[in-house]
A and B are shown apart, each in its own frame.
Chain A
Amino acid sequence: MKKWIKMNFPGIAATAVALMVVGCGSSVTSGTSTNLSVTKVGSGGILTIGATFSNLPNMDVVPDQGYEGRRFVGNQLYDPLIKENPNTNEFDMDLAKSFKTTDMKVWTFQLRPGVKFQDGSPWNAQAAMFNLDRILNKDSKYYDPTVAALITGRTKEIASYKALDDMTLQITLKEPDSFFESDLTQILFASPTAIEKYGNAEYQNHPVGTGPFKVSKAILRQELDLVPNKDYWAGSPKLDELILKPMPDPSTRLAAILSGQIDWAEVPPTESIPQLKQKGYQVLTKPYPHVWEVIPDMSKAPFNDKRVREAFIEAINRKAMSDQLLNGAANPADGPMFPGSTYYSKNAPTYPYNLANAKKLLAEAGYSKGVNVTINMPTSGSGNMWPGPMSEFIQEQEAKVGIHVTIHQYDWNQILTQQRAGFTGPLKDANGLIFSSAPGTLLGDLETSFVLPEPNGSDIMGYDNPQLDKIVTEAKASTDPAERDKLLAEGWGIVQTDIPWLTIVHDLNLRVLNPKVQGFVTPSSWFADLTTVWVEK
């Protein structure tokens, strides 16, 4: 026996030591988060951000890695004609000083004068045309099919475009489309000089835009160094340098910010929130147009029955999920829109947590003995929050009313494939798909998600409501933005009533900042303004 202990002592000792050392000393108390951002005045500093993407986003005019790629790279290197203001969610003029449209079909833009690309070449109608040719005109010399494919959702309504003069651009759509305004916010413009110099394939390694930041160094998979564009038309950013580091693992991001390796961590593990607050870090949350949902297959049982869909939602204690499982990093969802959004419909029904009612509904639908469903789930991905624990929680909750959920994990990419092909393709055997969406970020979201079936849109559920179709058509043709928004709100309300999406929670854009980081205004958007940020020494 002695020999055995001696033999295995090292292993046992190591385990014991490790357990002892790490066991003592991690107390978790709650504190208040201090958002010091708007009180001090200053500038400069180097900001290092740990982002959730696993690779640097592509630096061409259509970034990848989801909206996070746009947030940290696309919108920093480039400008669109019209910008979505991350703080007010309104449309601000950007590379277009003003625009005019009377019929929502012909849009005329007065381009902003005096703006230069980061390589010194001028911003004018020719530059705009060059960029549009690149993504729309197959016969143009610099047409890039890959980039065109990625942005086609925003450009497919465009029939033609021309330069009326040096600083006036006119775009004509195939039919009146009031949603086009938001499409414009995602069409970015690059320097024609740079594209001609490097060619389509190489350009992405030497990006040149008009945006507030420019690239000083890019080391694939490791680090992207950005420096301010001192000649930015809206004023130079305050930072001396902005560094982006891909860190796909949440605990790595947490460790990095705790050890000072980074100053800003996107989406840390939620259990670290109390610890971070206690240590004085800025833990920021704010509602924005996000929803985490299960997209059900409404063409087959059991989700073809609205009572089952309702029961599914009511069986989940979304408040417990938000407050306990996610430590307050989310809010329960009544529907796709969050309260406070322009499109939130106050009249639509909500579905409060109610196990008894859920069971009753299931019994009415004929499933009193229980039912099996299979749901596919992404393991990570922009906006998908913490899919593993969340879906396990759902599994457990549904079991209480007799819905037995089997979860199949897939990579985010595979999920996108499945979503694209719909429930007739790879999802054939599944009853649902876990997904996250940004409803309302684009005016056309309602149409894309619930009116247009695949392959033109993402209505893969098999959902069809003529009343909704009518409202969307009216909104699209409307020449009055206020009326358009009112109609859209009504449309989203119909969606909330019909529950083609089983909406669970709204993300709250959790991020953590070192107390040294100043000047950041927490956005109510997927995007962010980094020009006002500076770092104390």
Chain B
Amino acid sequence: MTRIFHRILLAIPTLFGISVVAFALVHIMPGSPVDALVPPDATADVRAQVIHSFGLDKPLPVQYGLWLLNALHGNFGISMGMRVPVNQLLGQAIENTLILAVAAAVFGFLAGTVLGIISSLNQGNWIDRFVSAIGLVGVSVPAYWFAMIMVILFSVKLGWLPTSGMYSQGQQGNVLDLLGHLIIPAISLGITSVGVTSRMVRASFIQVIQQDFVLALRAKGLERRMILWHWLRNAAPPILTVTGLELGYLLGGSILIETIFAWPGLGGLLNGAIGLRDMPVIQAGILLIGTMFVVINIFVDFANARVDPRIQRT
């Protein structure tokens, strides 16, 4: 318990730093959001009024303090671009990004695990190297290029899958429709995970196979299935770690995929907000992504410690 407490304590300065970075980045950006709200032919006092209503006339440290205070209470202000509370935008956006990231992670995990096991069972021969190659391809391919090719093939030429968006019109809540829209983006996003996961699975599977107790089990004539089960229990920690961390990266990496596919998630929101100089949204978005990442890291750490008693002692 003290361990997790210790970790959380260590995380606090990091989170604080993230909030400073989020705030500072927005203010380094050239261009003021006020000019998006106030057209060129507005009179000076109208302009001053708008500046005042958004609190932009206060000194920077004060603005930071106010923002942080509100953020800690879960209030991220009003979006300048869309004039709705940022929370409203964030809630929907996070949900949509999680759907995409989880789908990508599931794809990466399943494909990676299958490939990793195949690889480890054929250790050293050409199948092994072939599978390793697929893994490396996944890490080396530019996601947007891969996405472009898939869209040409499956959406335009074959017409099987939609080209963008999360739902067809009027199909909110239709899971089948969602799945159809999810396929290409999730695969494009998850393809990097396949390589990392398959490599991890391969290594851990080999390790487990070679362990004495497994040899003993096999000598006893235990079925393959039992060995698989044993492997799962032993390999779970590192695989969970990798998948957990990958989920963190996917959350962030979704910014590109969401932009390409007009997926209404956090990454797309952030990208649009950056273009609009929508300060409250950018600050909230960066803070959220950073925080989620830190939380996932702590969680993975914790889960690992629980699952693998050996770690406790280090």
Contacts and interface: CB of A to CB of B under 8 A. Distances in A.
Q: State if A and B touch, Cβ cutoff 8 Å.
A: yes
A54 B263 CA distance: 11
B47 A458 contact: no
A259 B156 contact: yes
Given A223-B169, A225-B170, A414 B30 contact: yes
B41 A261 contact: no
Contacts of B272: 54-55, 221
Contacts, number: 179
B166 interface: yes
A411 B275 contact: yes
Nearest to B161: A259
Interface stretch (B78-86, B236-244, B284-292): B78-86
B39 A150 contact: yes
A1 interface: no
B39 A152 contact: yes
B262 A58 contact: no
B149 A149 contact: no
Contacts of A417: 30-32, 35-36, 277
Contact of A413 (B35, B89, B159, B162): B35
Contacts of B30: 414, 417, 426
A247 B262 contact: yes
A147 to B, nearest CB: 9
B149 A146 contact: no
Contacts of A114: none
Contacts of A55: 81-82, 272
A424 interface: no
A150 B37 contact: yes
A14 B136 CA distance: 13
B39 A11 contact: no
Contact of B162 (A249, A261, A414): A261
A10 B262 contact: no
B130 to A, nearest CB: 6
Contacts of B132: 7
B24 interface: no
Contacts of A9: 130, 133
Nearest to B92: A220
Interface in B252-275: 260, 262, 264, 268-269, 272, 274-275
Contacts of A48: 169
Contacts of A22: 149, 152-153, 157
B133 A259 contact: no
Interface string A1-24: 001001111110010001001100
A243 interface: yes
B137 interface: yes
A10 B38 contact: no
A255 to B, nearest CB: 4
B40 A255 contact: no
A190 interface: no
B2 interface: no
A255 B39 contact: no
Given A7-B133, A10-B137, A145-B50, A455 B44 contact: yes
Contacts of A223: 167, 169
A201 to B, nearest CB: 8
A55 to B, nearest CB: 6
Nearest to B38: A149
Nearest to B276: A413
A408 to B, nearest CB: 11
A271 to B, nearest CB: 15
A149 B42 contact: yes
B21 to A, nearest CB: 21
A101 interface: no
B159 A153 contact: no
Contacts of B129: 3, 6-7
B210 interface: no
A203 B126 CA distance: 66
A220 B88 CA distance: 9
B82 A410 contact: no
A199 to B, nearest CB: 13
Contact of B84 (A205, A248, A454, A456): A205
Contact of A246 (B130, B157, B163, B262): B262
Given A411-B275, A420-B35, A256 B163 contact: yes
A58 B83 contact: yes
B168 interface: yes
A152 B43 contact: yes
Contact of A145 (B49, B134, B169): B49
Nearest to B272: A54
Contacts of B167: 222-223
A252 interface: yes
A395 to B, nearest CB: 23
B82 A6 contact: no
B46 interface: yes
Contacts of B50: 145-146, 149
A245 interface: yes
A219 B168 CA distance: 12
Given A205-B84, A221-B264, A222-B167, A149 B37 contact: yes
A230 interface: no
A418 B40 CA distance: 10
A220 B276 CA distance: 16
Contacts of B77: none
A14 B130 contact: no
A480 B36 CA distance: 36
Contacts of A145: 46, 49-50, 53
A470 interface: no
A2 to B, nearest CB: 10
B297 interface: no
B27 to A, nearest CB: 14
A456 B257 CA distance: 42
Interface in B64-96: 81-84, 88-89, 92
A145 B53 CA distance: 8
B234 interface: no
A6 B47 contact: no
B165 A245 contact: yes
A101 to B, nearest CB: 23
B104 interface: no
Interface in A357-411: 410-411
Contacts of A458: 40-41
A379 B122 CA distance: 51
Given A150-B37, A413-B33, A417-B31, 13 more contacts: A10-B133, A11-B140, A14-B137, A21-B152, A145-B50, A153-B39, A247-B262, A252-B163, A252-B262, A256-B164, A261-B164, A420-B39, A455-B40
Interface of A: 3, 6-11, 14, 18, 21-22, 25, 48, 54-55, 58, 60, 64, 145-146, 148-150, 152-153, 156, 204-205, 219-223, 225, 243, 245-249, 252, 255-256, 258-259, 261, 410-414, 416-421, 426, 448, 452, 454-458
17 contacts: A3-B126, A6-B126, A9-B130, A21-B157, A64-B81, A145-B46, A152-B42, A205-B84, A220-B89, A222-B165, A243-B170, A255-B155, A256-B164, A410-B31, A414-B30, A418-B31, A452-B41
